[in-house]
Amino acid sequence: MRDELLSLIEKNSRMGLDELSVLLGVKEIEVAQELAKLEEEGIICGYHTLINWDKTSIEKVTALIEVKVTPQRGQGFDRIAERVYNYPEVKSVYLISGGYDLLVTLEEKTLKEIASFVSDKLSTLDSVLSTATHFILKKYKDHGTIFDKKREDEREVISP
């Protein structure tokens, strides 16, 4: 049940216990217990809402920043990652294999704010060797959801 439950609420975290219990074919109490367990184990880390900010009047600029760093003795990349992810404007931090080390996503109201974060905060950290900032121009798909996709049912209305 665990995998199926996770894949259901990954797509729709607002599904109630009653509905989940019907869809999974188990009792509500079992769903509730499983959810509690998943939260406790840190498998479920939050119940977020996917918002297409482009459609609102709120301005948001998102940047992907590639960061090369010097790993620190005894702590590898974890220490520097922590320094970075503690900034609330940082949305995500991944350790990446390949040409650079950390991929940081940053969400701010203006380009200027992002520029100042990179130059004043990120680049000045001791272990940061270099950064490369990419601005996101348009989001087509996020978290498995395609934005702006309207689908008509093209099937014949009745078929044998």
Partner 1 sequence: MTKPLSKTVEGLKPSGIRKFFDLVSEMKDAISLGVGEPDFDTPWHIRDEGIFALEKGKTFYTSNAGLKELREEICNYLKRRQNVSYNPNEEVLVTVGGSEAIDIGLRALVNPGDEVIIPQPSYVSYEPCAVLAGAKPVIIDLKAENEFRLTAEELRGAITDKTKVLILPFPNNPTGAVMTRRDLEEIAKIVIENDIYVMSDEIYAELTYNGEHVSIASLEGMKERTILINGFSKAYAMTGWRLGYACAPKAIISQMTKIHQFAIMCAPTTSQYAAVEALKNGDNDVKEMRQAYNQRRRFLINAFKQMGLDCFEPFGAFYVFPCIKEFGMTSEEFATRFLEEEKVAVVPGNAFGESGEGFVRISYAYSLENLKVAVDRLGHFIEKLRAG
**Residues between 120 and 139 that touch partner 1 (CB under 8 A):** none
**Residues between 16 and 55 that touch partner 1 (CB under 8 A):** 19, 22-25
User: Are the CB atoms for 122 and 68 separated by under 8 Å?
Assistant: no
Q: Which of 7/124 has CB closer to partner 1? A: 7
106-135 as b/e, with b when 16 or more CB fall inside 10 Å?
A: bbbeeeeebeebbeeebeeeeebeebebee
Q: Which of 22/32 has CB closer to partner 1? A: 22
Residue 38's region, left for phi above 0, alpha for psi from -120 to 50, else beta, is alpha
Q: Which of 137/157 has CB closer to partner 1? A: 157
Examine residue 160 and tell whether it contacts partner 1 (CB under 8 A): yes
Residue of 62, 7, 76, 14 lying closest to 38 (CA atoms): 7
Examine residue 144 and tell whether it contacts partner 1 (CB under 8 A): no
Judged by CB under 8 A, the stretch of 15-23, 107-115, 122-130, 135-143 that binds partner 1 is 15-23
Q: Which of 26/61 has CB closer to partner 1? A: 26
In one-letter notation, the amino acid at residue 120 is D
- In the set 6, 8, 38, 64, which binds partner 1 (CB under 8 A)? 8
Examine residue 59 and tell whether it contacts partner 1 (CB under 8 A): no
Residues 6 or more apart whose CB falls under 8 angstroms from that of 134 comprise 63, 64, 65, 66
Q: Footprint of partner 1 on this chain (CB under 8 A)?
A: 4, 7-8, 19, 22-25, 153, 155-160
